[in-house]
Amino acid sequence: MVSRVIPVDCFDLVVFGGTGDLARRKILPGLFRRFLAGQIPEDARIIGAARAEIDDTGFRAFVKDAIMEFGGKAAKQTEAVAQFLERLHYVAIDAKGEVGWAALAGLMRDDVVRAFYFSVAPALFGALAERLHQHGIASPESRIVVEKPFGRDLESAQKLNATLALHFTEHQIYRIDHYLGKETVQNLMAVRFANILFEPLWNARHIDHVQITVAETVGVGGRGAYYDKSGAMRDMVQNHLMQLLCLIAMEAPYRFDPDAVRDEKLKVIHALEPVRPDDIVRGQYRGTGKGTAGSYCEDAENPDSRTESYIALKVDIANWRWKGTPFYLRTGKKLRARASEIAIVFKEVPHSIFGEEEGWRENVLSIRLQPNEGMTLSVMIKEPGPGGMRLTEVPLDMSFAEALGEDGTDIPDAYERLIMDVIRGNQTLFMRGDEVEAAWAWTDPIIAGWEARGDKPRGYDPGSSGPEDALMLLHRDGRRWREIRE
């Protein structure tokens, strides 16, 4: 299968925070790969804007290093790297002061798409929006891309929305959630809405439950003090896991159109039931050695921390389609494998004509986001051979990684796809302001509840599947978690 590349319109993309970690690891190497794929038009320019006092040459050297380190096999194409670097410019700028703004205004061209990527701390979003406006750099068609976290609760998210709304309309604001840019996540919508096969079964009558797992092997490491102020609920569930849940649970939008899709997602968030305290398990990873060495509290530099590095929740959706089918969500750090999966676990057949078969399994549609993006549907078949009617489970593999490239590395990274969507002016895979606020409105009472109760996270061993109590969350309901494995 050869993927088609459709070039986007000519653009000036300003990356505020262009010398930061996210720009270095994801945005700039991603743009290079799009350049290599032929998607970036001849005259398009990428302008780094950050505090570092460097010039175009310094920025090009920085980006070259970033491509060498994070560009994958694309980095070997040295001639293309050199051509790409010519598209780059740099302005030293102060988001909160006057330095650099006149220079940036002077660089911008008319008649091309203007996009501004706010890859800086959220505390600077307001200042950037205001200055872009003051200096006449943003036009009514300009787009801004804002990074996570989008607030830390409903109040701060509302404030942030209101600040951005002073200078930009909703159709100009692209709130990024890179989970939505993953090939598999979009394929989930294709599988659901472009095939007649699944949709009739996609409801509480046929689906027993859904599991969404985002497991990481890393701890909070160098960003412990920052992470300690948020925790897994704010850092992962409110945004990434919530978005995945919405895509599984939403009704068919009337069209694949940004607002039609986001309207349906919003309805799902509104239908989420409050989560009961018994349906929440929070955990903190222990140290590997004696005492607290290597533990979450040590990494967070806070011996008394009650912030969770792991969370599992049972979530109910109060609507006709899903009443009675729980969604179990879990995410955590220092777990046994780096693996993200959505598993749709179907109900058993109403009556087995084969008797009590050992090894009988339900059908499961497994949607893997990482590693090895792809989908597998497990089905029961007859074990081949003359040994009578014995059943066995086989996977119907819908993986597309191999189909798209020798080893799957040709699949565009989520950031690449999303940045190209910004240039195209397509907001389908970006969160709308009301969606983010609704997600916080559901999240806030859950957090307030455990804070009021003084709940302490349970310890779990690094390299495990999380706290024991999380296993019980499913055992209690006669179910079990899927194995966390790469």
Annotated binding site for NADP(+): 17-24, 51, 148
Which of 56, 94, 153, 477 touches ligand NAD (CB under 6 A)? 94
Q: How many CB atoms lie within 10 A of CB 24?
A: 20
Query: Which residues make beta-bridge pairs with 113?
Result: 11
Q: Which stretch binds ligand NAD (CB under 6 A): 91-99, 263-271, 289-297, 451-459?
A: 91-99
Examine residue 171 and tell whether it contacts ligand NAD (CB under 6 A).
no
State yes or no: residue 425 binds ligand NAD (CB under 6 A). no
Whole-angstrom CA distances from 264 to 138, 207, 258, 277, 432 are 31, 20, 10, 28, 12
Q: Which is nearer to ligand NAD, 122 or 459 (CB)?
A: 122
Residue in 5, 10, 52, 201 binding ligand NAD, rule: CB under 6 A: 52
Which two structure tokens, joined as six digits, stand for 87? 């598209």
Task: Check if 240 is active-site.
Answer: yes
Binder of ligand NAD out of 14, 54, 95, 108 (CB under 6 A): 95
Query: Exposure of 314 by Cβ count < 10 A (0-12 exposed, 13-18 middle, 19+ buried)?
Result: buried
Q: Name the one range near ligand NAD by CB under 6 A: 141-149, 243-251, 272-280, 450-458.
A: 141-149
Nearest approach, Cβ of residue 256 and ligand NAD (Å): 27
CB of residue 173 vs ligand NAD: minimum separation in angstroms? 15
58 binds ligand NAD (CB under 6 A): no
Which residues does 371 contact at the CB level (< 8 Å), separation at least 6? Answer: 338, 339, 486
Contact pick of 147, 279, 341, 421 for ligand NAD (by CB under 6 A): 147
Binding residue for ligand NAD, selected from 68, 82, 121, 472, defined by CB under 6 A: 121
**Residue 97 vs 324, nearer CB to ligand NAD:** 97
Q: Which residues share a beta bridge with 11?
A: 113
Q: Is 424 in the site for ligand NAD (CB under 6 A)?
A: no
Query: Which range touches ligand NAD (CB under 6 A), out of 45-53, 239-247, 310-318, 409-417?
Result: 45-53
| Residue from 73, 76, 96, 456 binding ligand NAD (CB under 6 A) | 96
Of the candidate spans 142-150, 239-247, 250-258, 350-358, the one that interacts with ligand NAD by CB under 6 A turns out to be 142-150
Q: Name the segment binding ligand NAD (CB under 6 A); options: 80-88, 120-128, 233-241, 459-467.
A: 120-128
Nearer to ligand NAD, 232 or 343 (CB): 232
- The answer to whether 148 contacts ligand NAD (rule: CB under 6 A) is yes
Determine the size of the site formed for ligand NAD (CB under 6 A).
22
Closer CB to ligand NAD, 23 or 242, in the complex: 23
Annotated binding residues: 17-24, 51, 148, 178, 182, 216, 235, 333
From the list 133, 240, 270, 475, the catalytic residue is 240
93 is a site residue for ligand NAD (CB under 6 A): yes
Should residue 243 be labelled a site residue for ligand NAD when binding is judged by CB under 6 A?
no
Residue nearest to ligand NAD (CB): 20
Q: Interface with ligand NAD by CB under 6 A: which range of 101-109, 114-122, 181-189, 379-387?
A: 114-122
Residues of span 2-41 touching ligand NAD by CB under 6 A: 17-23
Q: Select the residue interacting with ligand NAD from 5, 7, 10, 51 (CB under 6 A).
A: 51
Does the footprint of ligand NAD cover residue 229 (CB under 6 A)?
Answer: no
For residue 55, give the amino acid letter. Answer: D
Q: Applying CB under 6 A, which of residues 14, 31, 113, 120 lies at the interface with ligand NAD?
A: 120
Query: Residue 428 and residue 61: Cα distance in Å, rounded?
Result: 35
Binding residue positions for substrate: 178, 182, 216, 235, 333
The contact set with ligand NAD (CB under 6 A) reads: 17-23, 50-52, 93-96, 119-122, 124, 147-149
Active centre residues (catalytic): 240
